[in-house]
């Protein structure tokens, strides 16, 4: 698939990926693989949604239309899977098997294939075949129950779909690639958003065991109720974040806010009985100045404070600009650089693998399809260019 593709940059160059995922966090995961050098072929369905998230996550990928409901489309996908290192799918359990594209069949034909399955609930369990979205997976994982102040608050899809879906799948793929170097064998990855979120929440279970937290979000140091860890509205209605957990940072925060009369000792700081009153005073102090005035005050002293940026402010932020974390082109389109940074591939920050627009004929020819086969698939509307 990749002999005539644009030059790939990154540590995954040479790896070939077939992305059958469609919707959800899997297209983001395959975009990550493409960002870091893999050659990714994204298969799109004949009846896309009015807004197809996969299109917005197509950076660095080839793409073709393929009707997987037809026998010809299924056979085409099976043949494509024989020449790739990684296959990614995001359907409910049983769908790929019904299409004749399950892992048993494909790995039998390609023993080194890493077959990555990314879903909300996972491949097994009583919820496995249920419909669901990010908020439901976070609810069952326990992560939603510790998010928010007055009630559980649904965070953006970043926390569930991407952080605990895409990244969890990526970790599984990379581990499987390492093991394949030793054994030559592929394997099936069952990446579930619920599992990933519960795994991350497990870091807080130690606080319960040690008696540092009783499980009530209102009593968590990181839940937003502590006066030294949360967000506050400024005089201009913008927001400012503080994370002054350590006593020295707490003392610095109080000094910047002009609250020197408050006891800044560690014992007083952690007295939860006084948190509501302290939070009101901190909130009132922040209301006296606009965000633009608080920003340099907190920047001048180690105090764990930062302005809450809106999307249209990201590229102009001096830190983001210096690292090219978020950039904007002359058309106003934002781009986020791949993460993490690799010293062997510094160009990935600014020269991300480009989006491709190659015809289906070229892509299938590279995968070993004969010209007459390609003509027949196109004539039968099994395959089409995107």
Pull the structure tokens for residue 183: 């054994």
Q: Quick one: which of 128, 104, 123, 114 has its CA closest to 171?
A: 114
Strand partners, 188: 115
DSSP label of 294: H
Give the strands of the sheet with 114-119, arranged side by side: 188-192, 114-119, 86-89, 16-19, 39-44, 61-66, 383-385
Handedness of CA 289, 293, 296, 300 (dihedral sign): negative
Nearest 10 degrees: CA dihedral of 220, 225, 226, 231?
120
Q: Quick one: which of 64, 311, 15, 42 has its CA closest to 177?
A: 15
Nearest 10 degrees: CA dihedral of 114, 116, 122, 124?
-30
Q: Quick one: which of 41, 43, 42, 32 has its CA closest to 10?
A: 32
Beta strands in the chain (DSSP E): 16-19, 39-44, 61-66, 86-89, 114-119, 188-192, 229-233, 239-243, 305-307, 326-328, 334-336, 383-385
**Which residues does 116 contact at the CB level (< 8 Å), separation at least 6?**
26, 29, 86, 87, 88, 89, 169, 172, 173, 176, 188, 189, 191
Residue 97 backbone dihedrals phi, psi, to 5 degrees: -65, -40
Task: Give catalytic residues, as residue numbers.
Answer: 133, 161
**Cβ proximity of 78 and 101 under 8 Å:** yes
Pull the structure tokens for residue 48: 């896309």
Nearest 10 degrees: CA dihedral of 209, 211, 217, 222?
-90
Q: Quick one: which of 20, 37, 61 has its CA closest to 358?
A: 61
Q: At 189, is the secondary structure helix, strand, or coil?
A: strand
């Amino acid at each position: 698939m990749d002999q005539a593709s644009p030059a790939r940059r990154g540590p995954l160059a040479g790896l070939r990926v077939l992305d059958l995922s469609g919707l959800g966090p899997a297209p983001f995961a395959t975009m990550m693989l493409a960002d870091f050098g893999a050659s990714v072929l994204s298969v799109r369905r004949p009846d896309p949604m009015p807004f197809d998230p996969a299109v917005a996550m197509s950076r660095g990928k080839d793409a073709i239309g393929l009707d997987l409901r037809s026998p010809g489309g299924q056979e085409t996908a099976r043949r494509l899977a024989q020449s790739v290192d990684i296959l990614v799918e995001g359907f409910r359990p049983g769908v790929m098997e019904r299409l004749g594209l399950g892992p048993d069949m494909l790995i039998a034909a390609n023993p080194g294939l890493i077959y990555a399955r990314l879903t909300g609930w996972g491949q097994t369990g009583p919820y496995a075949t249920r419909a669901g979205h990010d908020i439901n997976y976070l609810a069952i994982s326990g992560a939603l129950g510790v998010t928010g102040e007055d009630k559980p608050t649904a965070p953006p899809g970043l926390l569930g779909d991407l952080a605990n879906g895409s990244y969890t799948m990526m970790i599984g793929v990379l581990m499987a690639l390492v093991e394949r170097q030793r054994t030559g064998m592929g394997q099936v990855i069952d990446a579930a958003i619920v599992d990933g979120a519960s795994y991350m929440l497990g870091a807080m279970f130690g606080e319960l065991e040690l008696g540092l937290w009783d499980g009530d979000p209102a009593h968590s140091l990181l839940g937003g109720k502590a006066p030294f860890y949360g967000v506050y509205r400024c005089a201009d209605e913008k927001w400012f974040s503080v994370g002054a957990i350590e006593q020295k940072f707490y003392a610095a925060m109080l000094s910047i806010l002009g609250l020197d009369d408050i006891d800044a000792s560690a014992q007083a700081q952690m007295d939860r009985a006084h948190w509501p009153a302290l939070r009101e005073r901190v909130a009132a102090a922040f209301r006296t100045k606009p965000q633009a005035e608080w920003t340099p005050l907190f920047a001048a002293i180690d105090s764990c404070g930062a302005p809450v940026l809106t999307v249209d402010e990201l590229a102009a932020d001096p830190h983001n600009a210096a690292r090219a974390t978020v950039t904007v082109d002359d058309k106003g389109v934002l781009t986020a650089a791949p993460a993490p940074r690799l010293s062997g591939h510094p160009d990935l920050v600014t020269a991300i693998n480009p989006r491709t627009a190659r015809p289906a004929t070229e892509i299938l020819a590279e995968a070993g399809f004969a010209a007459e086969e390609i003509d027949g698939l196109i004539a039968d509307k099994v395959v089409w260019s995107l």
